[in-house]
Amino acid sequence: MSRQYFGTDGVRGRVGEMPIVPEFAMKLGWAAGKVLAASGKPSVVIGKDTRLSGYMLEAALHSGLSAAGVDVRLLGPMPTPAVAHLARAFHASAGVVISASHNPYYDNGIKFFSADGKKLPDSIEREIEDWLEKPMTIDNPDAVGKTLRQEDAKGRYIEFCKASFPYHLSLRGLKIVVDCAHGATYQVGPAVFRELGAQVITVGCEPNGLNINAECGSTHPQALQASVLVNKADLGIAFDGDGDRIVMVDHTGSVVDGDEIIFMIARARMDDGQPLQGVVGTLMSNMGMEVALRDVGLEFVRAKVGDRYVMEQLTQRGWTLGGEGSGHVVCLDKTTTGDAIIASLQVLTAVVRSGRSLQELRQGMIKFPQQLINVKIGQKSDPMQNALVKDAVAQVESELGARGRVLLRASGTEPVIRVMVEGEHQSQISRLCQHLADVVRSALA
């Protein structure tokens, strides 16, 4: 059964429009509380990013939870992965995050973590949606939940992050620019690096409720690049609004994306003798990472696009490292979900141990050029069910050989086919991608 409100990353939308309105947030809190109450007296931790609408949704959510008999700890502005960690640390029944991640301020969302710090299973989200259809009631006034503010939440998470960095190493001597996207990491992010000894210069650390992700952070690294160059920093680190995505910048101002970060972590762990069987990426991961991992003897598996699908593959295979080029990086030997601060500390560990710069560490992977064309079609359909398209794909794949690939993906929200070709030579993939797009358009328009 499909879910009406929950998407791949919780409930999300524009503030003031269903479902991101206070009435729904309160009902959602109550419904989630009813599901959690089935296993005893529940408790929940709630964190949020810096959006102005977070105050409204936080109040509505914890009112609904309280009405269902749930005790609530309010964490204040905290990164999404911090909420996952603190749900475990406090032995809570669940963690709730109020955030729309890398979206603009006028969007917001609500997502849940289970007691073990992982995203809720689809089955639990369906149970919550079932309760949303029932009238909201307070069964026992004596059992209404309590709410308290957890004043030491930031310090607890800072110490957790620092513990993922080797205790005998230090960041002394490194000058680092940190861009927090005016988001949830604006306090804890710089503190982690300073306490480990780095000289920290901040960008995007003055949230006003409306400037989250605005021309800054991991989706807009230009401000970080400029600051690294002006300050002659060793490197730069950019987070997104809720702190689960990361991109980095080397001392020359060049952006280092999620695929490169994953590769550097993988190679550093192999060099350090740590067990690592393979890495999980997605259908959109750059083939250059796949080739580079293969060259150092690591298996590489592609999941569907989305960090929850990366997590599924990691769990099924018992692996610990994976992520997306967009900057979701999952280190399951350190934490339970994608965590940008912890991912950055794994790269910094490699920088300190090796004595090499970020620019030098990224040299082992050469990114392949990609070409993407969106083709509008008459109605949603699977392009690979068309014989003409199927034959054209086979011909392109034959020309590319083992060092290139083709991906045709139907949009989940609009009648569009995304045609992507990847290979070693830009001129070749541009030609082949345009050819495939023309075939798709002719066959399916």
Active site (catalytic) residues? 101
Instruction: Quote the Cα angle for 153-14-248, to 5°.
Output: 55
Q: Considering only CA atoms, give the Rg of the chain.
A: 23
Mapped onto helix, strand or coil, the DSSP state of residue 441 is helix
Q: What distance in Å separates the CA atoms of residue 144 and residue 96, rounded to the nearest whole number?
A: 19
Tokens of 218: 């991991």
Residue 420 DSSP symbol: E
Phi/psi at 24 (nearest 5 deg)?
-70, -40
Are the C-beta atoms of residues 314 and 337 closer than 8 Å to each other?
no
Tokens of 101: 């991640």
Tokens of 175: 């000058």
Q: What distance in Å separates the CA atoms of residue 369 and residue 287, rounded to the nearest whole number?
A: 9
Q: What distance in Å separates the CA atoms of residue 185 and residue 194, rounded to the nearest whole number?
A: 14
Q: What distance in Å separates the CA atoms of residue 384 and residue 208, rounded to the nearest whole number?
A: 48
Are the C-beta atoms of residues 377 and 194 closer than 8 Å to each other?
no
Residue 68 DSSP symbol: T
Tokens of 108: 């917001």
Q: What distance in Å separates the CA atoms of residue 88 and residue 124, rounded to the nearest whole number?
A: 18
Closest CA to 111 of 341, 337, 413: 337
Partners of residue 416 on adjacent β-strands? 376
Those residues whose C-beta lies under 8 Å from the C-beta of residue 410, and which sit 6 or more positions away, are 380, 381, 382, 383, 416, 417, 418
Those residues whose C-beta lies under 8 Å from the C-beta of residue 68, and which sit 6 or more positions away, are 29, 30, 31, 32, 33, 34, 36, 37, 145
Are the C-beta atoms of residues 311 and 339 closer than 8 Å to each other?
no
Q: What distance in Å separates the CA atoms of residue 215 and residue 205, rounded to the nearest whole number?
A: 13
Mapped onto helix, strand or coil, the DSSP state of residue 414 is coil
Partners of residue 58 on adjacent β-strands? none
Mapped onto helix, strand or coil, the DSSP state of residue 75 is strand
Q: What distance in Å separates the CA atoms of residue 252 and residue 242, rounded to the nearest whole number?
A: 27
HSE value, Cβ hemisphere, 13 Å, CA-based, for 54? 29
